[in-house]
Amino acid sequence: MARRAVPISLSTGAGGAVAALVLAVIALPLGAVLLRADASSGLGPADWAAVRFTIWQALLSAALSVGLAIPVARALARRDFPGRRALIALMGAPFILPVIVAVLGLLAVFGRQGGISAALRLFGLPELEIYGWQGVVLAHVFFNLPLAVRLILQGWLAIPAERFRLAATLGFSARDIARHIERPMLRNVAPGAFLVIFLISTTSFAVALTLGGGPRATTVELAIYQAFLFEFDLGRAALLGLVQVGICVVAGALVIGVARPNLAAGTGLDQPVRRWDAQTSGARVFDGVMIAAAAAFLLLPLLAVVLRGAGAIPGLPPGVWMAALRSVLLSLATAVLAVGLALPMAILIARGRARGLLEVIGALSIAVSPLVIGTGLFLILRPVISPTAAALPITGLVNALAALPFVLRALVPGIEQAEAGYGRLALSLGLSGRQYLRHVLLPRLRRPLGLGAGLAAALAMGDLGVITLFAAPQQGTLPLEMYRLMGAYRTDDAAGAALLLLLLSLGVFWVFDRGGRLNAAT
Amino acid sequence: MLRLEGISLGFDGFTLVADLEVPRGTRLAVLGASGSGKTTLLSVVAGFLAPDHGRILMDGVDVTEAPVPARPLSVLFQEGNLFPHLSAFDNVALGLRPDLRLDEETRSRVEEALSQVGLAAVSGRRPGALSGGQRSRVALARLLLRNKPLALLDEPFAALDPGLRAEMMTLLAELCDATGLTLVMVSHDLRDAERLCDALILMQDGHIVTRGTMADLTANPPDALMPWR
């Protein structure tokens, strides 16, 4: 394909330099992990158990998420009702929802003191046990069911309306429609959704930290953390880090090989499909139950966080407020860093220069999880400075790398569109370098820049990953402070901190996203 | 064959108003600019949209409230007439058996329909392996096989090049002559309409503004039809 005639002086060098920097910041820690890995004794029984559990729980989480998402997505695809758009928008919220907040909400609903256990006690039935594998899987389904619904809903709404009309004229039954229209779509969409969720679930650390643990519910990432913090066995932590990279690379290769689902799914989901086979009362009731159950599953934990936390915020100890301040500063710095790294790379990708290589570099942080990068950075920095002293900068850097694939995904289409529309005009006017950035690109990138910065800020705000390896007690972020409060059974303070964290995460996302939309050029 | 009595349908600031009679065996062209209401009219007849007022009669039977599958008609759309995962043979067979449980008699009828449109040799291919013209022929074969008295065509050949389109029109005219099919075809090309149809209505802003036989309208074209010539 011919390259576009666009001003080439801008960012070509900067993009290459940034890509090299990103590669170095990921590859060097990975190299340190590789060198430090103690393969002499191999993996012990507990390590193998962690590998098995990581894969098993990820498979189960993905299967349940996709399996439950199919009827929910179908119901959303073929029903129109007040609040439909809001519910679909809510399906995007778990992406920016701090894991630890969701866990507290799930505990409030599904825990021993939660509403469901209370109802079971009334009927003399045993309470729910949320700690262990079932809690890990439940939390993963909570986070990934909405993603699966959105991906599958996108597939459903991509079916041409004529096909359902044709089915109606040909007298298709619901079974015929499932066979000739729905299943072929699901065969295309569901494997991709399954593998993406499988990949996400293999790298989920905070869920396993808070709800898992013990010999039967320890993931590889949790095992790294335990080897690191409890045993200070850096060789074993590094070896487990390599195992984790292996799992992610295989899962990532499967995602790329089998399907490339649209993770930005969300646009164009507002129009339901007219279906002539879904007018029976049975179908209506079934769809209504599916929609209500999905909404309750997502909303009740959040509602519990709000209700329990509202009264506790005024009495939060000063340490929580200081942690909140650190988190806000960290999330802002992460957003700036993530966008600063992504923009030059995205320009280069949009221009098609070494696109494949740059996309792989941009997505490396999916294969090499933040905890593994953090372990490597710890190994590199330890002989030079106290890793604790660099806890916040390292956390910001690792979070920016973790957000990079999503920020790139937001920016690249916008740049391609701007350059296709205005590149030649800019060239004819002699705009290049900063002028080109200022007059052509940035005005047209306000929306994706806002979205990308919002995602990065929210992800950093809620992160409970690499900070756990580095932070000293007095320099924790808000998620870490909340985790400590939960561990100390200070439930009111934890509930207040959870609500504060929820508000801050949604707040930083809203500020950036809204800011990008204001006066955005099209 | 088809009669629309006092039909009206309003949505999003647009209102369709139609009174129309289409005798059996007529090949009626529905001409009009984009947004004039051609496809809406077809959708009302097919049952995809329910009119706010009025009656739809087919062979004297009121089908206004009848569900889509109960109406004696077939539809060809501009796109999406074929299922991409099925062979040409199966796509045609769907017209008789949506569950594709085919006995020998059904199989031979499908083969015969494919032969009629000249596609016997490629019946095992999926739509992705067929040309645009062949895909249109597969859809036509299914329409023939279903043997419904009324066919609604929503610009099904618009994506074909002019040569192929003319070829399809000729084939369709031959099939109509052979079967006595009543046809209502949406188009925005008067030449296509002249090639195939013997009657015409022109739509503007949801209303039928001109109607008549093709011979009359061609001999004495009204002012409204002049821009289409």
Tell me the average pLDDT across B40-51: 92
CB contact under 8 A, B94 and A165: no
DSSP state of A274: P
Query: Between A470 and A197, where is the model more confident?
Result: A197
Where do the domains of chain A lie? Answer: 7-36+311-522, 53-308
Tell me the average pLDDT across A459-474: 85
Distance from CA of A132 to the nearest CA of B (A): 43
The per-residue pLDDT for range A406-426, each reduced to its tens digit, is 999 889 988 888 888 887 777
CB contact under 8 A, A181 and B83: yes
Q: For A163, which of B69, B73, B80 is closest by C-beta distance? A: B80
* Residues of B in Cβ contact (< 8 Å) with A180: 83, 85-86, 94, 98
The per-residue pLDDT for range A168-179, each reduced to its tens digit, is 999 898 899 999
Interface of B with A in 56-75 (CB under 8 A): 67-69, 71, 73-75
pLDDT score at A363: 83
Tell me the average pLDDT across A97-105: 93
For B139, nearest residue in chain A (alpha carbons) = A166
**What CATH number does domain B2-72+148-228 carry, 3.40.50.300, 3.80.30.20, 3.40.50.720, 1.10.3720.10?**
3.40.50.300
Secondary structure of residue A42 in the 3-state scheme: coil
Q: For B98, which of A160, A163, A173 is closest by C-beta distance? A: A173
**Is any Cβ of chain B less than 8 angstroms from the Cβ of A9?**
no
CB contact under 8 A, B83 and A175: no
Same CATH fold assignment for domains A7-36+311-522 and A53-308: yes
pLDDT score at A12: 67
Q: Which residues have C-beta within 8 Å of that of residue A407, sequence separation ≥ 6?
A: A338, A339, A341, A342, A346, A452, A453, A455, A456
pLDDT score at A494: 93
* Residues of A in Cβ contact (< 8 Å) with B46: 165, 169
Interface mutation vs chain B, best among A162, A179, A273, A275, most B CBs within 10 Å = A162
Q: Are A74 and A182 in contact (CB under 8 A)?
A: yes
Interface of B with A in 189-208 (CB under 8 A): none
Q: A36: burial class by Cβ within 10 Å (0-12, 13-18, 19+)?
A: buried
Q: Are A75 and A152 in contact (CB under 8 A)?
A: no
Going by their DSSP bridges, the two strands B27-32 and B182-187 should be labelled as parallel
Dig out the tokens for A274 from the structure. 């007219």
**Is any Cβ of chain A less than 8 angstroms from the Cβ of B95?**
yes
Secondary structure of residue A231 in the 3-state scheme: coil
Weakest-pLDDT range from A182-191, A287-296, A437-446, A483-492: A437-446
Confidence band for A94, pLDDT divided at 50, 70 and 90: confident
ipTM of the complex: 0.83
The per-residue pLDDT for range B140-177, each reduced to its tens digit, is 999 989 889 999 999 888 878 888 888 888 888 888 88
Q: Cα separation of A364 and B37, whole Å?
A: 52
CB contact under 8 A, B94 and A184: no
pLDDT score at A4: 47
pLDDT score at A259: 57
The per-residue pLDDT for range A110-169, each reduced to its tens digit, is 998 888 898 888 888 888 889 999 999 999 999 999 999 999 998 888 888 888 999 999
CATH architecture of the domain formed by A53-308: Orthogonal Bundle (1.10)
CB contact under 8 A, B73 and A166: no
Tell me the average pLDDT across A34-39: 81
Q: Is the pLDDT of residue A271 over 80?
A: no
Q: Looking at domain A7-36+311-522, what is its CATH homologous superfamily?
A: MetI-like (1.10.3720.10)
